[in-house]
Chains A and B, each alone.
Chain A
Amino acid sequence: MNILSLFVLIPLLMLLGLWMSRSLNQVRGVMVAGSGLLLVLAVWLAVAYSGLRSAGADEEMLFTASVTWFAPLHICYSVGVDGISVVMLLLSAVIVFTGTFASWKLKPLTKEYFLWFTLLSTGVFGFFISTDLFTMFMFYEVALIPMYLLIGVWGSGRKEYSAMKLTLMLMGGSAFLLIGILGIYYGAGGETMNILEIVKERIPTEVQRIFFPAVFLGFGVLGALFPFHTWSPDGHASAPTAVSMLHAGVLMKLGGYGCFRVAMYLMPTGAAIWGDFFLVLTTVSVVYGAFSAVVQTDLKYINAYSSVSHCGLVLFALLMMTRVSATGAILQMLSHGLMTALFFALIGMIYGRTHTRDIRQLSGLMKIMPFLSVGYVIAGLANLGLPGLSGFVAEMTVFVGSFERADLFHRACTVIATTSIVITAVYILRVVGRILYGTCRNPEHLKLTDATWDERFAVICLVVAVAGLGLSPWWASSVISASVEPIISQLSQL
């Protein structure tokens, strides 16, 4: 059996295990064993992948396999990975693993919670390994629908409203996506659903003109493309901690990944026609998200808008269509995934103690819960792009790559987007100063305790990952850069 199929098989076995679990400890055991195994598998895959590449394997995708599923429509279960999917799988595995620990004490209905959580993970892993349009789309939707119940049942605040809004908007996106996929399939002759084979066909320009925006928009909704980002702040604010982590950390990356792998790779002419239009939207996303974050008072809203800004930067860099900027985009997905998960985990832990996320009611937490506060500072610094942490590597690459486009339009967009760095510093430092430093004004908060072992474990894992990526980005950067090449050359053929 293909090694990649394990990424789907393990979560499915976890679902089975959870289904049969009779006690809380069994549920936790299944989750830790399963997500740990996935992490090991992802690391092993990364090592094996680099090994094969340095041994001279030059196919676009490695570990490929294909089993025919629905022959009349040429639907196959086809899998394969390149550098981009390898790092995305690694990211997903890290976040599922830490997310398990972040929801260690979650109540009520713990078993059901982890069932839906694991179903969501199945979708995410399946999406990243698929090379077949239909299978990919199926996994994409599998990853979306559990969000409704995860937010609706275990969320907080206006959870019913947020859950419905999020689900409907994302499903709306996938309606566009589905029509786009049919357009690609029949546009490429209706002979194959496999991305690697479709790319060899020439899809007629007229078809690309119609269906590129459908696909890009479909994935863009999940990537929080302005003006379709409004589900994101509400959804993230209402979701339970681990779900926010998984959603902002991994699920939003499905959007960027899909835009790049499906929309731009398969329809380069469409990308040339529509690129500038979407570039303007993403520039708005980047700046608008950052400004919105400045005026928020709820910690989760701040981070949610910050995610809009950072995910906007992913799409922005992809649309610049240079090799460096696209590498930066993938690095940004990785970096943002890790640090936003760290952020949401910490916010969840702080909220679990103080029962408020309003920054006006929090102060002087550094003395009360030093571990969580230091973690928060590190996440904040990574977010604003401090050298040595992951954010710097990603944003630097993005902006350097974007500056390679020397015409006025692209230059202007780049300059505008660059301002977001400064605005990010404003909202991050303001929050850090306000809630962590100074004296604690609320006497109730003085009785609170610092992180427990499960929380510490989750935070340390993520901090190590953020710092690791920041200090030694060479591996990730070279693996990504090599895999971005075929897609960029496809785009620059025109």
Chain B
Amino acid sequence: MDITTSLLSMQAEASLAVILVVMLLADLIIREPGHRKLQILGCILMAVQLALNVVPAEGEAFGGMYRSTELASVVKTVLAAGTLLVFMQAGEWLGREDTRGKAGEFYLLTLSTLLGMFLMVSAGSFMLFYIGLELASIPMACLVAFDKYRHHSAEAGAKFILSSMFSSALMLYGLSLLYGTCGTMYFADMPALLAGTPLQVMAMVFFFAGLGFKVSLVPFHMWTPDVYQGAPTAVAGYLSVISKGAAAFAMAAVLLKVFGGMVHDWSLLLSVVTVLTITVGNVFAVLQTDLKRFMAYSSISQAGYIVLGALAGSGQGMASLVYYVIIYVAANLAVFGIIGTVEQHTGGKTGRSAYAGLYQTNPRLAFGMTLALFSLAGIPPFAGFFSKFFVFAAAFHAGHWLVVFLALVNTIISLYYYLLVVKAMYITPSDSPVPPFRADGLTRAGLLVCVAGVVVTGLVSGLYGLLSGAALH
């Protein structure tokens, strides 16, 4: 296979790289203040990228180093769609006085992390996997610290880079042990060489811990609340869905493809971590009054539900996991989008008390938020209900019914704190509610897409069937 066909089989990555270059050039050419033009250009390019890659494709390149399955291709499309939504919602924040001049950097950094995630998701070897992971992490630290003169953004960036490096080091150590015992880095060759020796189990645990940081599983979640709270809201939204979704999928894929034979070694570990993640995330979320911090804990517990799909260790589990991620992207981005736009129009308020009486002044915003929160809580007929049911079914099928039960009990706790926000918006009276405002067009369009996704995706049955088909491939 020559280099051209190799590259063509990587069309998602290749097109993304082209977009990256175009954005870089555009940033140089477009004169100040060009944040608006850059945003529109970024959105159009991402939409084109989505349209080009909407049909799931399989591909292999560089002798198996790169291997994209149909399911991975779907995941990449979802990640790109999520990024497009983040771009649409970031306009108001980037139009602010102090960020206006560096809007171009935001798009460049975001697109590089996305490219890293693409590579990570479709890696066929631990080498490419690691490169992708790093590409997804380092620019992310810059994004987190983007508002460097504001709030705790710089501090959050420092925390992120430190914990990120630490987890990478752990993972690299695990990978070195794996290489030592197997003599190869390729996913395809490994299962035959993995016999579950103590050294290999140790390698697996290190690998798992390293990725656990990225997915923010308990006990590797400590950085999450501080970083989410400090990071600009658009970045926090990006971090909570795109970065987490990619890492969770990559983790599940590796556990299934590479460590599939060692399922007895990791299923107990993963069960315990899953239950802990869901519970700790939920219990701490109850106590939060700042919505960004609250969403950080909420997304920790959501990560636990995502990982339930991995715990199933089956095609059904993978399909459910991807389905869960899709719904989660829509719901979480709707919430973060609303938090972001309220923050921009109230001079930086993100406390729950600021949302009191929101329904009276901004009924549509409050309604959208309610639907998104209901979906996160798993209330039908919103999509979150279906996605939760599918991951539960998958984990149950694999025999983890106790884990499923504990996860279900946790949904009650999560319902409680999601309802607290709903209560603030609808019931709690307020002397100084958020004044009525109109968010800019792209933000509204982005929110509309998210909310529509939350309402419609669950009822559309073909999607899950498609994912199941792709997973069985």
CB neighbours (8 Å) of B416 from chain A are 164, 168
Within A148-198, the residues touching B (CB, 8 Å) are 148-149, 152-153, 159-160, 164, 167-168, 171-172, 175-176, 178-179, 182-183, 185-186, 190
Q: Is A134 part of the binding interface, using a Cβ–Cβ cutoff of 8 Å?
A: yes
CB neighbours (8 Å) of B319 from chain A are 72
CB within 8 Å for A145 and B374 given contacts A168-B416, A182-B393: yes
Check A141 against B385 for contact (C-beta < 8 Å). yes
Check B408 against A175 for contact (C-beta < 8 Å). yes
Q: Is A142 part of the binding interface, using a Cβ–Cβ cutoff of 8 Å?
A: yes
Check B423 against A160 for contact (C-beta < 8 Å). yes
A148 and B422 alpha carbons, distance in the complex (Å): 10
Check B461 against A69 for contact (C-beta < 8 Å). yes
CB closest chain-A residue, reference B408: A175
CB within 8 Å for A167 and B381 given contacts A72-B316, A178-B408: no
A171 CB contact (under 8 Å) in B316, B411, B461, B465: B411
Q: Is A71 part of the binding interface, using a Cβ–Cβ cutoff of 8 Å?
A: yes
B415 CB contact (under 8 Å) in A160, A168, A182: A168
Q: Is B389 part of the binding interface, using a Cβ–Cβ cutoff of 8 Å?
A: yes
Within B411-463, the residues touching A (CB, 8 Å) are 411-412, 415-416, 419, 422-423, 426-427, 461
Q: Is B396 part of the binding interface, using a Cβ–Cβ cutoff of 8 Å?
A: yes
A71 and B408 alpha carbons, distance in the complex (Å): 24
Check A179 against B408 for contact (C-beta < 8 Å). yes
A46 and B426 alpha carbons, distance in the complex (Å): 40
A182 and B402 alpha carbons, distance in the complex (Å): 12
CB neighbours (8 Å) of B411 from chain A are 171, 175
A262 and B381 alpha carbons, distance in the complex (Å): 21
Closest chain-B Cβ to A124's Cβ sits at a distance in Å of 14
Closest chain-A Cβ to B359's Cβ sits at a distance in Å of 9
CB closest chain-B residue, reference A72: B468
CB within 8 Å for A152 and B380 given contacts A71-B465, A175-B408, A182-B401: no
Check B409 against A178 for contact (C-beta < 8 Å). no
Chain A 48-89 near chain B by CB (<8 Å), digits 1 or 0? 000000000000000000001111110100000000000000
Check B379 against A186 for contact (C-beta < 8 Å). no
A71 and B472 alpha carbons, distance in the complex (Å): 14
Q: Is A138 part of the binding interface, using a Cβ–Cβ cutoff of 8 Å?
A: yes
CB neighbours (8 Å) of B426 from chain A are 149, 152-153
Check B408 against A190 for contact (C-beta < 8 Å). no
B419 CB contact (under 8 Å) in A71, A164, A182: A164
Check A178 against B464 for contact (C-beta < 8 Å). no
Q: Is B397 part of the binding interface, using a Cβ–Cβ cutoff of 8 Å?
A: yes
CB neighbours (8 Å) of A176 from chain B are 408
CB neighbours (8 Å) of B412 from chain A are 168, 171-172, 175
A139 and B380 alpha carbons, distance in the complex (Å): 8
Q: Is B62 part of the binding interface, using a Cβ–Cβ cutoff of 8 Å?
A: no
CB within 8 Å for A148 and B419 given contacts A73-B390, A138-B380, A142-B381: yes
A167 CB contact (under 8 Å) in B389, B408, B409, B419: B419
Check B419 against A70 for contact (C-beta < 8 Å). no
B389 CB contact (under 8 Å) in A134, A139, A159: A134
Within A274-303, the residues touching B (CB, 8 Å) are none
> Dominant SS at the A interface?
helix
A92 and B142 alpha carbons, distance in the complex (Å): 58
A73 CB contact (under 8 Å) in B393, B404, B408, B419: B393
CB neighbours (8 Å) of B423 from chain A are 152, 160, 164
A125 and B381 alpha carbons, distance in the complex (Å): 14
Check A182 against B461 for contact (C-beta < 8 Å). no
CB closest chain-A residue, reference B410: A175
B401 CB contact (under 8 Å) in A149, A152, A172, A179: A179
Chain A 119-143 near chain B by CB (<8 Å), digits 1 or 0? 0000000000000001000110110
Check B461 against A186 for contact (C-beta < 8 Å). no
CB neighbours (8 Å) of A175 from chain B are 405, 408-409, 411-412
CB neighbours (8 Å) of B186 from chain A are none
Within B227-276, the residues touching A (CB, 8 Å) are none
A70 and B387 alpha carbons, distance in the complex (Å): 12
Q: Is B328 part of the binding interface, using a Cβ–Cβ cutoff of 8 Å?
A: no
Residue among B319, B374, B393 with most chain A CB within 10 A: B393
CB neighbours (8 Å) of B468 from chain A are 71-72
Q: Is B93 part of the binding interface, using a Cβ–Cβ cutoff of 8 Å?
A: no
CB neighbours (8 Å) of B316 from chain A are 72
A16 and B385 alpha carbons, distance in the complex (Å): 22
Check A153 against B408 for contact (C-beta < 8 Å). no
A73 and B386 alpha carbons, distance in the complex (Å): 12
Check A70 against B401 for contact (C-beta < 8 Å). no
25 cross-chain CB contacts under 8 A = A68-B461, A70-B386, A70-B464, A71-B461, A71-B465, A71-B468, A73-B393, A138-B380, A138-B385, A145-B374, A148-B419, A148-B422, A149-B426, A152-B426, A152-B427, A153-B426, A159-B427, A164-B416, A172-B412, A178-B408, A179-B392, A179-B401, A183-B396, A183-B401, A186-B396
* Chain B contact residues, CB within 8 Å of chain A: 316, 319, 374, 379-381, 385-386, 389-390, 392-393, 396-397, 401, 404-405, 408-409, 411-412, 415-416, 419, 422-423, 426-427, 461, 464-465, 468
**Beyond A70-B461, A141-B385, 19 extra complex contacts between A and B, CB < 8 Å:** A69-B461, A71-B468, A72-B319, A72-B464, A72-B465, A73-B390, A138-B385, A141-B380, A148-B419, A159-B427, A168-B415, A171-B412, A175-B408, A176-B408, A178-B389, A179-B401, A179-B405, A182-B392, A182-B404
